[in-house]
Structure 1
């Protein structure tokens, strides 16, 4: 409630907004080119990349969604977060060296060079849709849900507009450099705020894991569930979640853009490893507190209210402002990231500013205008999202039915030279027609309150990806490649080795990847 905010709380919030505004203004003075606006001049370091990857992913939707779903069905939802350790390690051997070696600006640019302009524009349009209508708008929605807990009289739509406009202004002004600098600040605030929540919730059980587990439903604190589990069966964890994770961390422009902005391949790999280790934390500071809330906050009608209710009920005076700052930081981190990446896609994949020879001044002007237009969608689409049962479910299911054809053509395109552009485009179209029809069928059956008879959506993701792989391979053997392309577009032996002589010992990305994989696997084993 509004009365729970003390002078200290409000001062922290004001200070946060002041710092972010200053960063946007300060960075904007030094922008000189489109590369500065969209890729921070390709100058980002290890810590900046790692914190920025973490912060842009751990958005308000994660705070609200993970704690909410953990409240409803247990900590298995944390598998979506833990999977980042595996897929980022895989990316260190695949997309990271390939994309940086090619010096691309957007992920669809790779498909354009590999398969032709039609695939590039198709995937770019899909990415813009997912970025704006899923990631960005869902983050604004989740943030408003929390803010309305403390300001119940604040109307929904004006709050949406205010959050989207504020993020848009400093993104348009400072570009990716402002985004990643504020991401570092936001990641630190977020971890402190979520850590305080976790401490206070665990204290309600006397800091006893045995007491907490005893008070909760059977299996609530287990990561690995039975094959018929409605939240996340082990089959979906095995064949679906890795595909969703690999798309998100290797093909999603607003995430990959940070990697593309690295000062070198080894820097990008080390930053990815750092982010992979950070992604272990959501289990402890989001999923476990959310699961414990099932005992502390019984009978909540809307699981999306778990996090804000924990903040309001269990934080001591003075800490609420810090957590709210962390929440707003998370909102800003995702919204600014998605705005910047979506405008990058529009200018480079549709306006084709490189090919048209636009001046750097014109690129920056149009980029900022594009960001302004996208703000409108971010501000208004949450009206639709609030009708969906659970923000995290909204995000995961939309991605679950969108990514299989994309993952299929990327994997074949990187590893198999025979893959043709016509086959890739046909796979995208056919795959999305099938998955879109399936999604619509499930939605209609759910609206009618009837069972659809289909497996869990993560299992469907795995099945659809396998189908698209086979389809693309068969079509590629029938349809010859339309144009010649360089072998540099295919992964080679050079991509699995360090690119600099100094990348030895702890700096060797292969050792770092092994540590991340082992640590993540150990956590899953311990909480199985």
Structure 2
């Protein structure tokens, strides 16, 4: 078994172990659905970031940064991160105040309508199913690249892994494993950045090399690489793309159940606001790290 395979097996075992540990502490519906409404700021922050920084960040957007569009990813993320603060202030704290177990239940109580609650539930199932399919396929793609497993087997293994601890431990297991993932990939990103910068002679040498990198001119310019081989011909088109997607993703992190449901688990409304502000700051810093890592790999 290679080092990559061993690392993945150990990771899965750790997550399953954490889920099993958390599941043993589930005593009632409050524990299962909202972790007893007692999660501190760090756990809410960890689950917010981990649930967002999945394969879309480490494969899709990292790939765009490698191709020379890192600055646009940073601009998009800066706008996007404001959604955490706005969402917590104008939606998340009221969600927490409602004392409901789920987001559909919140909408049902808010509008006194079973139909609204059902519609909210169906929209969540459809939306999150698409998200989980994308994430599952992304993780399976990585597994097939570093192991001899076929894609169907990898997809099944990934699905079984997260379904086991999620169904058994509920929200307690989710926030714990999410936070472990957050710590793991943040540490890995910082270590990778340090290694790559050191490999290329330090910060100033790395930035200078990227600034004059002939294969991808403007790789660290504010608008990134432009031209017929990209989606944008002018800086205006590029910045417009980043701003539109930034606003769209900002709305997603502000009100989508995929993110906002984490606030139901928070210990208090203060925790909701603190974790949202922390997530906005750390998310932007993490994207700065990952995009620079992806760009510097070109050297």
Question: Given the two structures, how large is their TM-score scaled by the length of structure 1?
Answer: 0.50
Alpha-carbon displacement from aligned partner over 1:69-113 (angstroms, at most 9, x marks no partner): 212341112334333431112123201222122223333344433
- 1:124 corresponds to: 121
- 1:221 corresponds to: 220
Bigger Cα Rg: 1
- TM-superposed CA distance for 1:12, in Å, is 4.4
- 1:20 corresponds to: 15
Q: Is the 8 A contact 1:50 1:272 kept in 2?
A: yes
- 2:43 corresponds to: 48
Q: 1:10 to 1:230 in 2, by over 3 A?
A: closer
Q: Give the alignment of 1:479-490 within 5 angstroms.
A: none
Q: Give the alignment of 1:59-78 within 5 angstroms.
A: 59-75=54-70, 76-78=72-74
CA RMSD of aligned residues (A): 2.6
- 1:171 corresponds to: 166
How many residues are matched?
287
Q: Is the 8 A contact 2:68 2:220 kept in 1?
A: no
- 1:388 corresponds to: none
Task: Give yes or no for the alignment of 1:241 onto 2:246.
Answer: yes
- TM-superposed CA distance for 1:225, in Å, is 6.6
Structure 2: which 5+ runs fail to align?
A: none
Q: Is the 8 A contact 1:46 1:270 kept in 2?
A: yes
- 1:275 corresponds to: 279
Alpha-carbon displacement from aligned partner over 1:155-200 (angstroms, at most 9, x marks no partner): 1001100011011001111111111111221111111212233233
Q: Is the 8 A contact 1:213 1:221 kept in 2?
A: yes
Which of 154, 158, 167 aligns to 1:159? It is 154
Structure 1: distance between partners of 2:242 and 2:59:
21
Q: 1:50 to 1:84 in 2, by over 3 A?
A: farther
Structure 2: distance between partners of 1:233 and 1:176:
39
Structure 1: distance between partners of 2:287 and 2:93:
29
- TM-superposed CA distance for 1:236, in Å, is 3.6
Which of 201, 210, 215 aligns to 1:206? It is 201
- 1:476 corresponds to: none
- TM-superposed CA distance for 1:115, in Å, is 7.6
Structure 1: distance between partners of 2:231 and 2:53:
24
Structure 1: which 5+ runs fail to align?
A: 297-528
- 1:197 corresponds to: 192
Structure 1: distance between partners of 2:188 and 2:254:
29
Q: Is the 8 A contact 1:52 1:180 kept in 2?
A: yes
Alpha-carbon displacement from aligned partner over 1:435-467 (angstroms, at most 9, x marks no partner): xxxxxxxxxxxxxxxxxxxxxxxxxxxxxxxxx
- 2:104 corresponds to: 108
Q: Give the alignment of 1:25-40 within 5 angstroms.
A: 25-40=20-35
Q: 1:69 to 1:161 in 2, by over 3 A?
A: same
Q: 1:94 to 1:131 in 2, by over 3 A?
A: same
Structure 1: distance between partners of 2:121 and 2:238:
32
> Structure 1 stretch 73-82 or stretch 169-178: which is displaced more?
73-82
Structure 2: distance between partners of 1:111 and 1:28:
28
SS in structure 1 at match of 2:212: helix
